[in-house]
Every structure is written in C-alpha cells, then in structure tokens.
Amino acid sequence: MLLEIKNLRVKYGNVEALHGINIRVEEGEIVTILGANGAGKSTTLNAICGLMKISGGEILFRGSPLHKMPADQIVKEGITQSPEGRRVFGTLTVRENLNLGAFTINDPRKNKKNLDWIFRLFPRLEERSGQLAGTLSGGEQQMLAIGRALMGQPRILLLDEPSLGLAPILVKTIFDTVKEINKSGVTVVLVEQNARVALKLAHRGYVMEVGNIVMEDSAASLLSNPDVQNAYLGGKK
C-alpha cells in the first residue's frame, strides 16, 4: 500500500474537523474524495502535506510516518499538492513558478526532462513561460499549479478542486491531462465537488460528510449509487 491514513483526527483550535478517518491509496490509482464545502477534504490533503498538525491517528507513506515529518521533508518523499485556489506565485513568472516546484531536486537533467514533459502536457505554459503567473487566466493558473506540483517528481499527486471556477471545456482538458499523468505512473488523489467528472476519472472514491468518511467504494458503484446520485450528482439521470 502506497498511502494509508488511519483514524486521522485534526483540530482547528478546539473544533475537531476530522473525526478519525481512514483512507488507503494503492500504487497507480486515482482516488477521489468527494464532499460538500466544509466536509474536511482540503484539511485531509493539508494534513498529508504537513501543513496541518494532526491531533490523532497516523499517516503512513510506504509504511513510514508522514505525520512526524516537516512539510519540506514530505515533498522530498514524493508527495506534492496542487492546492485549492491554485495559489500560484502571482508576481513570479510561469518559469520561476515551475522552477520552484523542483526546489527539492538538484539534478538539472531531471528538471529539464520534467519541464519538457510538463510543456508537452500543457503547451500553453510553454507559450507563457516568461509571463507573470498572476496575469494568466484561471485555467492556465490551474495548469501551472498542476505543472508546478509535477516538477517535484511526485509519487503521489494531490489535487485540490482542480475544476473550481473553470469552464466545462477546460475542466475536460485538465481531467484528460490528469488521466495522462496517472498513466505515466503517478498516483493521484483528487478532491472534488464536481462529483460526476471526478467519479468518471477515478478508480475508487470516498465520500466525506462533516469530518467523517461516510462511503467508500469503486468509482463505478458510487456513480450508480442512488444516495450519491441524490446528494452529489443532482438526482438520477
């Protein structure tokens, strides 16, 4: 097992946001975490990345405890995130943003290879590489956020709401690219509110509600599950 989250608890001050959740991710999978606003999806990703202190449980990456490592060590282990709201460095150029994604990798040949690959996945980024990231459109910023996370050569790529605020045609482009990234051997954990596109892409899915995992199944069964359809897919189609 690549990533195993056991009985994870996270608190904001005195308020518990995650009440002991369990998630496992196998090598090569796309796993999606669905849920409404405030369900704890982003909190889960940030706990994996070491941005949130955990108050209980364990996060194991190939058996070693991530929750005991600082955030920069976790990136070195091979877990990178494209965060919610993209959070590109607006006053830096596209190229500088991508270089920062490779901060932990000191091999120029590897970086060149990854950069070429990212420019193949997102040709737009190459066209705009000298431009300030803050001047990109929302879709381009999302591409940059994903590209930047890939520059760290992740074994697991965490994507937080990549479809947020994007036109449907762009969502399709991005999700097609995520599929391609996954085919190249990167395991993907995808947090989404857009349940339909996420379940079509993913192998397995978890449904979160107010800090708990309430459902866990293959993506196909979740898609046809009447409860999921009612709550997250706008009723039966």
Residues at the interface with other proteins (CB under 8 A): 49-51, 70-72, 75-76, 80-81, 83, 85, 87-92, 96, 99-101, 103-104, 132, 134-136, 138, 141, 148-149, 152
Query: Cα separation of 45 and 149, whole Å?
Result: 14
Q: Is-contact 3 61, C-beta < 8 A? A: yes
Query: Cα separation of 207 and 25, whole Å?
Result: 15
Q: Which is nearer to other proteins, 141 or 225 (CB)?
A: 141
Least spacing, CB of residue 185 vs other proteins, in Å: 20
Q: Which is nearer to other proteins, 186 or 207 (CB)?
A: 186
Least spacing, CB of residue 134 vs other proteins, in Å: 5
Task: Render the burial of 66-103: b for 16+ CB within 10 Å, e for the rest.
Answer: bbebeeeebbebbbbbbbbebebeeeebbbbbbeebbe
Q: Which is nearer to other proteins, 136 or 199 (CB)?
A: 136
Least spacing, CB of residue 38 vs other proteins, in Å: 19
Q: Which is nearer to other proteins, 72 or 127 (CB)?
A: 72
Least spacing, CB of residue 231 vs other proteins, in Å: 29
Least spacing, CB of residue 218 vs other proteins, in Å: 30
Q: Which of 205, 206, 194, 189 is nearest to 170 (CA)?
A: 194
Q: Which residues pair with 33 in a beta bridge?
A: 191, 206
Q: Which is nearer to other proteins, 83 or 205 (CB)?
A: 83
